[in-house]
């Protein structure tokens, strides 16, 4: 029989995260540490704004780049936060949508993209679909930004450096000094930097520095999904200054022929979201971070995450690899993700502590008992 599936599709497998997420639906009251979405609901003022927008008839296409009022507010925010004069902004269907648009806009076959290992799972697979080559720089065991490794990885085929802070899957937050050093490396070699800052709201020990104020060729990716629990609404944006406006123009052009625009009523709701104070939610998640770290560090090698809602834990020596330990955890009704979903090694597992305090306590007890 003739094969009708593209070679491109064959380069990727179904997400390991989604496989575990599907498994959770079949289990009875599991401790679900697998999926990366907040356990709280969208705050009421944002939900009300979405309903009002739908009832007011904001249900047709917006302009490709986004709703004019939202764009105006985002432009002012990026300018104030990052010190970028008159930034270009594109509203996208989630940061995942922005990633696809960016990679389609700049990656040619054979181009190299540098990123720290561990990494967010989508990066690797979409870059490969574009014909690009991922160059992984080891950040084990403490997941700090591997400055020397990044510089050593630069070649004449390097097209992009990816930063993700706070990071998925590690929860690492890069320091200002670290991002400045990467800015100097990128400027020296004239390489674009993509800064994925979807978890910027969840910073527990101070500010989460961005590279954008320090490097003009930065594409910022930010969003609403994690901060406001709007994961199903698919709302994010890409932004940058004059040095990358041509890239943002190409992303906008490709959006015309793919996503068309981000969902219009949710763009209207995002205007309201920008004024909602999420401090109490962040404080709750800081306590969850402390619970998981304090609860596991006696039995596991674990570094305290500075942001997001993940921790990346080394599998115990009793297991031959992380996958074996994950299988054991699942057999004990705890859902975690093996580290090889996010890494070229299989030594760690990811926990998402975006769940109830009771589930965290239960999960800690079970994981410690099987370590």
Residue range 278-323, pLDDT digits in tens:
999 999 999 999 999 999 999 999 999 999 999 999 999 999 999 9
The distance from CA 254 to its chain's CA centroid, rounded to whole angstroms, is 22
User: Element (H or E) spanning 222, and its range?
Assistant: strand 218-223
Residue 28 above 90 pLDDT? no
> Between 30 and 271, where is the model more confident?
271
Contact status, residue 155 vs residue 112, Cβ threshold 8 Å: yes
Q: What is the pLDDT of residue 172?
A: 98
pLDDT beyond 70 at 18: no
pLDDT at 16: 54
With a cut of 90, say whether residue 352 has pLDDT above it: yes
Q: Cα–Cα distance between 351 and 154 in angstroms, integer?
A: 32
Report d(CA 288, CA 355) in Å as an integer: 9
Of the candidates 198, 139, 187, which has an alpha carbon nearest to the alpha carbon of residue 343? 139
Q: Torsion-angle region of residue 231: left (phi > 0), alpha (psi -120 to 50) or beta?
A: alpha
Whole-angstrom Cα distance, residue 246 to residue 241? 10
Lowest mean per-residue pLDDT among 16-20, 259-263, 318-322: 16-20
* Low-confidence winner among 12-21, 92-101, 154-163, 217-226 (lowest mean pLDDT): 12-21
- Sorting pLDDT into bands at 50, 70 and 90, what band is 22? low
Segment 243-248 shows an average pLDDT of: 98
The string over 235-247, giving b where at least 16 C-beta atoms fall within 10 Å of a residue's C-beta and e elsewhere, is bbbbbbbeebeeb
Residues 294, 40, 25, 172: is their CA dihedral positive or negative? Answer: negative
Domain boundary assignment for the chain: 7-42+278-370, 56-273
> How far, in Å, CA of 324 to CA of 315, rounded?
9
Task: Identify whether 118 is preceded by a cis peptide bond (ω within 30 of 0).
Answer: yes
d(CA 241, CA 82): 10
State whether CATH 3.90.1150.10 applies to domain 7-42+278-370.
yes
pLDDT at res. 7? 83
| Rounded alpha-carbon distances, angstroms, from residue 64 to 101, 249, 264 | 13, 11, 10
Burial per residue of 144-178, b for 16 or more beta-carbon CB atoms within 10 angstroms, e otherwise: bbbbebbbebbeeebbbbbbbbbbbbbbbbbbeeb
Strand partners, 162: 115, 194
Q: How confident is the model at residue 358 (pLDDT cuts 50, 70, 90)?
A: very high
Report d(CA 288, CA 277) in Å as an integer. 19
> Does the structure show a pLDDT above 70 at 120?
yes
The answer to whether residues 87 and 239 touch, using CB atoms and an 8 Å cutoff, is: yes
The correct CATH number of 56-273 out of 3.40.50.10490, 3.40.640.10, 3.40.50.300, 3.50.50.60 is 3.40.640.10
Q: What is the pLDDT of residue 24?
A: 61
pLDDT digits (tens, 9 = 90+) for 49-58: 999 999 999 9
The whole-number pLDDT of residue 270 equals 98
* pLDDT tier for residue 4 given thresholds of 50, 70 and 90: confident
12: pLDDT confidence band, cut at 50, 70 and 90? confident
**Mean pLDDT (whole number) for 104-114:** 97
Determine which of 31-35, 247-251, 348-352 has the lowest per-residue pLDDT on average.
31-35
Element (H, E) at 24: helix 16-24
Instruction: Single out the residue of 44, 49, 22 nearest to residue 35, CA to CA.
Output: 22
Contacts of 88 (CB under 8 A, 6+ apart): 239, 240, 241, 244, 245, 248, 249
| 364 neighbors 295 (Cβ within 8 angstroms) | yes
- Residue 52 class from Cβ within 10 Å (0-12 exposed, 13-18 middle, 19+ buried)? middle
**Rounded to an integer, what distance in angstroms lies between the CA atom of residue 135 and that of residue 128?**
11
The confidence score (pLDDT) of residue 259 equals 96
């Amino acid at each position: 029989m003739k094969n009708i599936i593209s070679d491109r599709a064959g380069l990727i497998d179904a997400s390991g995260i989604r496989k575990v997420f599907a498994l959770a639906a079949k289990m009875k009251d599991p401790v679900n540490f697998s999926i990366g979405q907040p356990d709280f609901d969208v705050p009421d003022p944002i939900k009300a704004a979405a309903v009002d927008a739908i009832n007011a008839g904001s249900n047709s296409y917006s302009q490709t780049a986004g709703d004019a009022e939202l764009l105006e507010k985002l432009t002012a925010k990026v300018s104030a936060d990052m010190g970028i004069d008159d930034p270009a902004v594109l509203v996208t269907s989630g940061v995942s949508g922005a990633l696809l648009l960016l990679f389609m806009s700049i990656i040619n076959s054979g181009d190299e993209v540098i990123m720290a290992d561990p990494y967010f799972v989508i990066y690797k697979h979409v870059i490969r679909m574009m014909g690009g080559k991922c160059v992984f720089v080891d950040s084990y065991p403490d997941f700090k930004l591997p400055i020397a490794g990044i510089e050593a990885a630069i070649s004449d085929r390097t097209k992009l450096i990816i930063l993700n802070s706070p990071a998925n899957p590690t929860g690492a937050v890069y320091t200002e000094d670290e991002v400045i050093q990467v800015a100097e490396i990128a400027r020296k070699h004239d390489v674009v930097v993509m800064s994925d800052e979807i978890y910027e709201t969840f910073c527990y020990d101070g500010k989460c520095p961005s590279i954008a104020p320090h490097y003009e060729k930065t594409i910022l990716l930010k969003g609403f999904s994690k901060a406001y629990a709007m994961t199903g609404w698919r709302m994010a944006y890409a932004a940058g200054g004059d040095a990358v406006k041509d890239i943002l123009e190409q992303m906008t052009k490709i959006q015309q022929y793919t996503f068309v625009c981000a969902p219009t009523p949710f763009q209207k709701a995002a205007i309201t979201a920008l004024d909602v104070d999420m401090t109490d939610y962040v404080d709750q998640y800081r306590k969850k971070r402390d619970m998981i770290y304090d609860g596991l560090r006696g039995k596991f090698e674990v570094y305290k995450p500075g942001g997001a809602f993940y921790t990346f834990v080394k599998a115990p020596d009793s297991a031959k690899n992380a996958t074996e330990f994950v299988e054991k955890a699942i057999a004990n009704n705890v859902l975690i993700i093996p580290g090889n979903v996010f890494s070229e090694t299989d030594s760690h597992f990811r926990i998402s502590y975006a769940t109830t305090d009771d589930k965290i306590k239960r999960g800690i007890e079970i994981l410690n008992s099987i370590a």
